[in-house]
């Protein structure tokens, strides 16, 4: 594993994000919608620039935070292109979890607490899962709950100290795994009273199931669930959640070999590194190292990651590129930390590429 390359990739990614911003801190023309602001504040904070993180969160609050505590780009969640509409329809709350965490760890409580209150309204009181769609858009009694929304919002609950509600989300994942048929598919959503959501259009299969016999699957949904369950175990020491985290990861491990290379694979690395940090099992370390090395190697010369074509989009989909690049800064920090690599601000006092003596970002 090339520690220097990983540190350099993180630095170049943040420098690229800088080039996409206007003088007021917002992202430039054609790149201005909610998706650009969910993860970038966390990326900048981890990269040693809390000032840029603060500016981006102010924009998030002023432009996208609704009076109810939701986040929206006008009439839509994100934009009206086909990919974003499918994401809005199948895991509406995924972005809310990211925004809540980004705001909370940056101490922007005037954002995170209203956002938390909205998220809590979207948790099913009986199952603990989180609704797939905006609650105003769904028919009462027909609310679907899904893996991505529940993992993202469950993690937000953990980060904001709502352990009781987070445990309900963990219990939802345990129950969801028990409901899966003995076969090749893992279904990603559930409706109370109806069971697993197994009927959907072919073009939405990538939002609703993971088929271990096929490649190009949405492995990241299950990886997010695994990582959340691992974090939940750390919070409450209930071994059921650690066992469930391992079970979810085991399913991923039984899937196609592109599970550590297809879009979203970075969350597989996060889950693997977290499980390694808790269990010491080398199989998890191996998977995490494979992922973090691939992240660093696949970066564009400019510093971003152009991955839209993997999911049927153009590489010029700017909001996706900003979103992915921001998220990968997070995992280029978190995965090495969990593996004990000490590539950032380690106790030896060694200076690393994004660190000066004042702990801030490089000038310019």
* Per-residue pLDDT reduced to its tens digit, 300-333: 999 999 887 777 776 567 888 999 999 999 999 9
pLDDT of residue 355: 35
* Structure-token pair, residue 253: 């491990």
Other Cβ atoms less than 10 A from the Cβ of 334: the count is 19
**Interval 6-26: pLDDT, tens:** 999 999 999 999 999 999 999
pLDDT for 138: 60
* CA angle in degrees (0–180, nearest 5) for 145-147-149: 70
Higher local confidence (pLDDT), 319 or 141: 319
Does the pLDDT at position 218 exceed 90?
yes
Q: Which residues contact 269 (CB under 8 A, 6 or more apart)?
A: 260, 287, 288, 290, 291, 292, 295, 331, 335
The span from the CA of 285 to the CA of 269, in Å, is 9
Contact partners, residue 192, CB within 8 Å, separation at least 6:
124, 126, 127, 143, 145
pLDDT at 170 over 90: yes
Confidence (pLDDT) at 50:
97
Q: Residues 28-43: pLDDT tens digits?
A: 866 678 999 999 999 9
Mean pLDDT, the chain, as a whole number?
89
If one compares 236 and 354, the residue with the highest pLDDT of the two is 236
Inter-residue contact 24 to 71 (CB < 8 Å)? no
Domains located in the chain, CATH noted: 3-338 (1.50.10.20)
- Looking at residue 292, what is its pLDDT? 97
pLDDT above 80 (res 356)? no
Distance in angstroms (rounded) separating the CA atoms of residues 141 and 147: 19
Given this model, what pLDDT does residue 139 score? 58
- What does the alpha-carbon distance between residue 259 and residue 264 come to, in Å, rounded to a whole number? 9
Predicted local confidence at residue 316, as pLDDT? 64
Q: What percent of the chain has pLDDT over 70?
A: 90
Residue reference for tokens 């540190």? 7
Residue-level pLDDT at 344: 38
pLDDT digits (tens, 9 = 90+) for 237-289: 999 999 999 999 999 999 999 999 999 999 999 999 999 999 999 999 999 99
d(CA 212, CA 216): 10
Tokens 């977290």: give the residue: 274
Q: What is the pLDDT of residue 360?
A: 36
C-alpha 326/C-alpha 206 separation (Å) is 23
pLDDT for residue 30: 67
Residue 364 has pLDDT above 70, yes or no: no
């Amino acid at each position: 594993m090339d520690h220097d390359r990983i540190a350099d990739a993180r630095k170049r990614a943040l420098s690229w994000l800088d080039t996409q911003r206007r003088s007021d801190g917002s992202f430039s023309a054609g790149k201005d919608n909610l998706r650009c602001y969910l993860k970038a504040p966390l990326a900048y904070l981890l990269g040693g620039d809390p000032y840029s993180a603060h500016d981006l969160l102010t924009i998030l609050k002023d432009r996208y935070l609704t009076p109810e505590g939701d986040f929206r780009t006008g009439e839509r969640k994100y934009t009206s292109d086909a990919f974003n509409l499918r994401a809005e329809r199948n895991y509406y709350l995924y972005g809310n979890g990211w925004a809540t965490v980004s705001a909370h760890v940056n101490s922007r409580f005037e954002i995170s607490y209203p956002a938390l209150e909205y998220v809590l309204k979207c948790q099913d009181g009986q199952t603990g899962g989180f609704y797939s769609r905006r609650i105003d858009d769904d028919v009462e009694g027909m609310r679907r709950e899904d893996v991505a929304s529940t993992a993202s919002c469950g993690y937000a609950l953990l980060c904001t100290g709502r352990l009781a509600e987070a445990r309900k989300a963990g219990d939802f994942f345990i129950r969801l795994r028990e409901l899966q048929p003995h076969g090749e598919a893992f279904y990603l959503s559930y409706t109370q009273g109806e069971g697993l959501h197994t009927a959907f259009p072919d073009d939405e299969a990538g939002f609703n199931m993971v088929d271990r016999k096929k490649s190009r699957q949405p492995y990241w949904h299950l990886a997010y669930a695994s990582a959340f369950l691992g974090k939940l175990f750390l919070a409450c020491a209930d071994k059921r959640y650690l066992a469930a985290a391992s079970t979810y990861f085991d399913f991923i491990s039984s899937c196609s070999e592109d599970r550590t290379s297809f879009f979203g694979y970075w969350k597989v690395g996060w889950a693997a590194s977290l499980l390694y940090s808790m269990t010491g099992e080398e199989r998890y370390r191996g998977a995490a190292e494979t992922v973090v090395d691939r992240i660093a190697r696949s970066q564009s010369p400019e510093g971003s990651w152009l991955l839209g074509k993997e999911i049927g989009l153009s590489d010029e989909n700017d909001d996706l590129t900003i979103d992915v690049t921001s998220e990968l800064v997070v995992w280029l920090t978190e995965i090495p930390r969990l593996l004990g690599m000490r590539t950032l601000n380690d106790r030896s006092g060694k200076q690393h590429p994004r660190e000066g003596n004042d702990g801030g970002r490089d000038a310019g």
